[in-house]
């Protein structure tokens, strides 16, 4: 299956929240009068098998999470990507590799989490190379902010981890500051609270790109207290 084979299930003026064919559509503004009720992680629309749930934010084209889903079939994986053009690339990987343990959420990560994800239902959360929005006037667009971190804390089970990865030094410092301000998390790594090599983590398009350009990758891991 090619990414172009996935067509939007509704027109823009009819947008609504639905789960269809391994894609969970969460438009920024849905117009349907129907009240959407999340069926839970153990449902035929999401995952029929009761397995640990791992969530990745900012999944891009899905290279990292699709590879993880293939390697770790005993886990259920949730890819969150706002852009439809990228979400359909993840869907293509799901179809071509028959990944019934991978679901893609086409929507904004913070809003989807806040609105629908049950408390203490996730076994691990990841955010890989989010847009750093380096200009001050664009800071409001950064996904790593106190309210988002609190939502991740809410959905994680006790003792589970939130991993943040970036190549941007300034954004790394912001991530550390925001995470350390939340009393519900502790860093797995001692100061300076990141490592530049993380064996077994997996690779992605952006990791390979930035390493080729000589950039250092920063891995941050925080545990829910």
Residues 6+ apart with CB under 8 A from 90: 59, 61, 62, 65, 66, 79, 81, 102, 104
Residue 221 and residue 159 in contact, taking contact as beta carbons nearer than 8 Å: no
pLDDT at 208: 60
Q: Is 83 inside any structural domain?
A: yes
pLDDT at 212: 65
| Residue 28 annotated as catalytic | no
pLDDT at 166: 95
Annotated binding residues for substrate: 135, 167
pLDDT at 213: 61
Neighbouring CB atoms inside 10 A of 84's CB total: 17
Residue 169 sits in which domain range? 17-28+39-224
Instruction: Tell whether omega for the bond before 192 is within 30 degrees of 0, i.e. cis.
Output: yes
> Residue 167, SS3?
coil
Q: Which domain CATH number covers 90?
A: 3.40.50.150
Q: Is 7 inside any structural domain?
A: no
Give me the number of domains the chain comprises: 1
Strands 218-224 vs 156-166: parallel, antiparallel or unpaired: antiparallel
pLDDT at 216: 84
Q: For the chain of 225 residues, list the mean pLDDT of each consecutive stretch of 10.
A: 92 89 88 77 92 96 95 97 96 97 96 96 96 76 94 98 95 96 98 91 65 79 97
Q: Sign of torsion, CA 198 194 208 79?
A: positive
Q: Is 164 inside any structural domain?
A: yes
- Which pairs count as long-range contacts for 134-139, CB under 8 Å and 24+ apart, including other chains? 134/168, 134/170, 134/171
Q: Is 6 inside any structural domain?
A: no
pLDDT at 205: 60
Q: Is 114 inside any structural domain?
A: yes
The whole-model pTM stands at: 0.92
pLDDT at 91: 98
User: Looking at 5, 28, 33, 131, which residue is catalytic?
Assistant: 131
> Residue 166, SS3?
strand
């Amino acid at each position: 299956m090619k990414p172009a084979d996935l067509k939007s299930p509704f027109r823009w003026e009819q947008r609504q929240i639905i789960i269809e064919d391994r894609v969970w559509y969460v438009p920024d503004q849905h117009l349907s009068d129907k009240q959407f009720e999340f069926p839970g992680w153990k449902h035929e629309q999401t995952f029929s098998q009761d397995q640990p749930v791992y969530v990745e934010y900012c999944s891009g084209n899905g290279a990292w999470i699709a590879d993880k889903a293939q390697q770790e079939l005993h886990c259920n994986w949730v890819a969150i990507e706002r852009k439809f053009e990228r979400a359909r690339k993840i869907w293509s990987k799901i179809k071509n590799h028959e990944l019934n343990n991978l679901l893609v959420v086409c929507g904004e990560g913070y809003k989807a989490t806040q609105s629908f994800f049950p408390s203490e239902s996730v076994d691990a959360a990841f955010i890989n190379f989010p847009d750093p929005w380096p200009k001050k006037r664009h800071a409001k667009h950064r996904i790593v902010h106190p309210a988002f971190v609190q939502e991740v804390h809410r959905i994680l089970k006790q003792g589970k981890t939130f991993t943040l990865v970036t190549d941007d030094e300034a954004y790394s410092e912001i991530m550390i500051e925001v995470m350390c301000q939340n009393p519900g998390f502790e860093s797995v790594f001692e100061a300076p609270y990141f490592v530049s090599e993380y064996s077994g983590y997996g690779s992605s398009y952006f990791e390979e790109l930035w390493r080729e350009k000589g950039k250092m990758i920063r891995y941050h891991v925080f545990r829910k207290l």
